[in-house]
Structure 1
Amino acid sequence: MTQIPRSALILGLAGVIPFAWGALTLLAPALAGWGQQTLGPRFIGPYVQLYYGAIILSFMSGVLWGFATKAEDSRAATGYALSVIPALWAFFMTGGGPTSAAINLMTGFAGLLILDFAFWRWGLAPGWWMQLRVLLTALVVLCLAVGPIF
């Protein structure tokens, strides 16, 4: 495996901030109060996590679509079809309340990791891709798990 480019690692970790912020505001009521007063209620707790999580799953669909453009023959069609799954998952599975939405997002991110592996295995993703994706997925799922637990 090759080393994750510094910019990809930094930007990937920065993308975890809204998930971590949401988890912290669930764990620290004083922080939640400050966040609600300063940023508004949509930017604390499960609200920020769930909204942002749906956006990120949709974004990752676009990333996978980009990988699919490098494929040929039937693998390209398969890649395009698989690439839309995360966005559709986010669209259909994030309703029904914060607990079920968080669980569905955790499932969606776990499923995305499987798709990441497939695209990586097919040689469509960079050599360092899975190192980055495993790290980010673990952090995101851990942060999302705080909601259903508390």
Structure 2
Amino acid sequence: MQQQADNRTIATAWFLAGLGAVPFVAMALAAAVSPGFAAAHLGGETAFMGYGAVILSFMGGVRWGAALSPTTGPGAERMILSVAPSLAAWLALLIDRPWSLLLLLAGFVLQGLWDVASARNGSLPAWFGRLRLTISAIVAASILLVLLT
């Protein structure tokens, strides 16, 4: 019964992470193919940056929650580091292009690498590392596409 619950949790996480990547991909593709459409109907780069900031902050919150887990040991340092994505996301909203996009890109790449490393060392589940690697690559590619348009 536990294995079935674990499989359901993993499948749900992959599904939700995939849904969370859809706005990145949709807005990036729209910006590349039809900037006018993207600006008029999807909020343009402002919406892209806003969504990126929200999701990067969310990823920091995931790490905050992991730092509170009694199974991973003392978490004060991890709690401090978990605030960095939110601060970087906020700063990205305040600075001009291309630095705003580069800061978001760096935030997602660093967060993804931290998540993968944590999955490899056992402080996060192995499946989570694979999920984060995949989604981080999709988000990074989306940011790069917007950056190049």
TM over 0.5: yes
Name the structure 2 match of 1:135: 134
CA distance in 2, matches of 1:91, 1:24: 24
Q: TM-score, normalised to structure 2's length?
A: 0.82
Q: Percent identity?
A: 30
Name the structure 1 match of 2:27: 22
**Equivalent position SS for 1:124:** coil
CA distance in 2, matches of 1:52, 1:104: 14
Name the structure 2 match of 1:72: 73
CA distance in 2, matches of 1:147, 1:15: 17
Contact 1:46–1:98, Cα closer than 8 Å, also in 2: no
Name the structure 2 match of 1:83: 82
Structure 1: which amino acid aligns with 2:108?
F
Deviations, residues 97-140 of structure 1 (Å, cap 9, x unaligned): 23221111001101111321343245332220110000000000
Structure 1: which amino acid aligns with 2:10?
P
Name the structure 1 match of 2:113: 114
What count of residue pairs does the alignment treat as equivalent?
141
Deviations, residues 82-108 of structure 1 (Å, cap 9, x unaligned): 111111111123322232211110011
**Equivalent position SS for 1:66:** helix
Q: TM-score, normalised to structure 1's length?
A: 0.82
Name the structure 1 match of 2:16: 11
CA distance in 2, matches of 1:47, 1:124: 35
Contact 1:99–1:148, Cα closer than 8 Å, also in 2: yes
CA distance in 2, matches of 1:34, 1:22: 10
| Structure 1 segments of 4+ aligned residues over 4 angstroms from their partners | 32-37
Deviations, residues 44-68 of structure 1 (Å, cap 9, x unaligned): 4322221100000111111001110
CA distance in 2, matches of 1:122, 1:66: 17
CA distance in 2, matches of 1:16, 1:117: 18
Name the structure 1 match of 2:60: 61
CA distance in 1, matches of 2:94, 2:81: 22
Name the structure 1 match of 2:101: 102
Contact 1:50–1:102, Cα closer than 8 Å, also in 2: yes
Q: Provide the alpha-carbon RMSD of the alignment.
A: 2.2
Bigger proportion of residues as helix: 2
CA distance 1:121–1:84, shift in 2 (3 Å): farther
Name the structure 2 match of 1:147: 146
**Equivalent position SS for 1:64:** helix
